[in-house]
Amino acid sequence: MITEYQTQNTLNPKLWVADELKPGLLAKFMKIADYFYDTLETDTDVYDVVLIGSNANYNWTEYSDIDLHVIINYLQVGDNLHLVDKYLRAKKSIWNANYPLTYQGMNIELYAQDSNDDLHSSVGIYSIMRGEWIRKPSADLVTIDDDLIKQKADPYAYEIDKLDLSSTNLEIKIKDILKRLRNLRRTGLEAAGEYSLENLAYKHLRNSGHLARLKELLQQSTLGQLDINESVISPLINHITKKQLLDTTGWNLVMKQTNGITDPMGQWNHPGRCTMIPSNKITMQGVTHKVLGIDDTGHMQLMHPEQEYEYPGGKVFEIPITPQYHTWAIQLINSIRNGSRYAK
């Protein structure tokens, strides 16, 4: 399906002088694309780097993304195109998290596009590598292809699909995605109304259930902070205050009710999840969040990233200090804050 609508009569003046990219932007965009390509960690040829989307067309607003596509051959990455696509989407997600780049209020979005994909004859495409138009847009009419809508929505869908209640900084991630989606939709509605690429991508995510999933996760995370599960907290408080140490049955109940898992790799393999470490030595190297540790003798320590810890017992139950478990941790710490068995 192709949707058509009327649009503005000039290209975005923040980027263009008439139909020429402003001086200096070619080099800047090419440098960003080079860095992005390096993070892909693939030995592939780069066929081109292109500017596509609203900012290469006449349906831009001041909030439109700057969409830079690095054109590579997916088959040079691997024979399984499905796995290659998932790998490159993961790399894009990591890039977005580490390098939230903007230019004059516009997000700069990077995407590794397969050279075998159609670049869509209906839209403007500008080659950053060659400094020239591959296809000039029309000021009178813009057409939107379903594939472009999906391509715009897919990175958001990937980020949402990767989230679960054990995700570190879950609320922050959800609110960041929701903010970007609100800006995406606002950009489209301001530029071209209901049939803009951005608004259609937003609707695609709504129809696929991704927006509902975000709201459900946010609700569950919030409830997790407000709800104190006495059947878990009370036995743990009794354990750390030495009123009644947990036995095997008690620990099994705690593990079941917290959906915990026993794994010597702990937070490395299961970030944000309650874990039982079958050892008294804990390394926090590479862990990005604080963790409350309780051993089988009732000794408790609040562990900080990049530090090393040793407990008197033989195993350690880890509670990550994430939104889901933050209230639990406060309850446990407060229960013996003035005692001698708590190590800061």
Q: Residue 341 has what pLDDT?
A: 43
Please enumerate in sequence order all residues whose Cβ is within 8 A of that of 17, keeping only pairs 6 or more positions apart, or say none. Answer: none
Minimum mean pLDDT among 45-49, 60-64, 206-210, 307-311: which range?
A: 60-64
Confidence class for position 184, pLDDT limits 50, 70, 90: confident
- How many angstroms separate the Cα of 149 from the Cα of each of 145, 169, 194, 196, 214? 7, 29, 13, 9, 20
Model confidence over 224-250: pLDDT tens digits?
Answer: 655 546 668 889 999 999 999 999 999
User: What 3-state DSSP class applies to 111?
Assistant: strand
Angle at 288 between CA 284 and CA 289, to 5 degrees: 85
Model confidence over 288-336: pLDDT tens digits?
Answer: 899 999 999 999 999 999 999 999 999 999 999 987 787 788 888 888 7
Minimum mean pLDDT among 125-134, 157-166, 241-250, 276-285: which range?
A: 157-166
Beta bridge partners of 302: 292
53, 67 in Cβ contact below 8 A?
A: yes
Q: Residue 203 has what pLDDT?
A: 82
Q: Residue 342 has what pLDDT?
A: 42
Q: Residue 228 has what pLDDT?
A: 47
Q: Residue 220 has what pLDDT?
A: 77
297, 280 in Cβ contact below 8 A?
A: no
For the segment 141-155, the average pLDDT, to the nearest whole number, is 77
192, 140 in Cβ contact below 8 A?
A: no
Q: From the centroid of its chain, how far is CA 21?
A: 31
- In this model, does residue 29 exceed pLDDT 80? yes
Q: Residue 121 has what pLDDT?
A: 47
State phi, psi for 338 to the nearest 5 degrees: -90, 5
The sign of the torsion formed by the CA atoms of 230, 231, 234, 236 equals: negative
Give the up-direction half-sphere exposure of residue 28: CA atoms within 13 A in the CB hemisphere: 11
Angle at 306 between CA 300 and CA 309, to 5 degrees: 35
Between these two residues, 103 and 60, which has the higher pLDDT value?
Answer: 103
User: What 3-state DSSP class applies to 36?
Assistant: helix
- In this model, does residue 38 exceed pLDDT 90? yes
For the segment 30-53, the average pLDDT, to the nearest whole number, is 94
Residue (of 274, 283, 275) closest to 311 by Cα position: 283
Confidence class for position 116, pLDDT limits 50, 70, 90: confident
For the segment 207-221, the average pLDDT, to the nearest whole number, is 86
Task: Report the alpha-carbon distance of residue 188 to residue 233 in Å, rounded.
Answer: 48
Percent of the chain at pLDDT exceeding 90: 47
- In this model, does residue 49 exceed pLDDT 70? yes
Q: Residue 194 has what pLDDT?
A: 59
Confidence class for position 343, pLDDT limits 50, 70, 90: very low
- In this model, does residue 4 exceed pLDDT 50? no
**pTM recorded for the entire structure:** 0.50
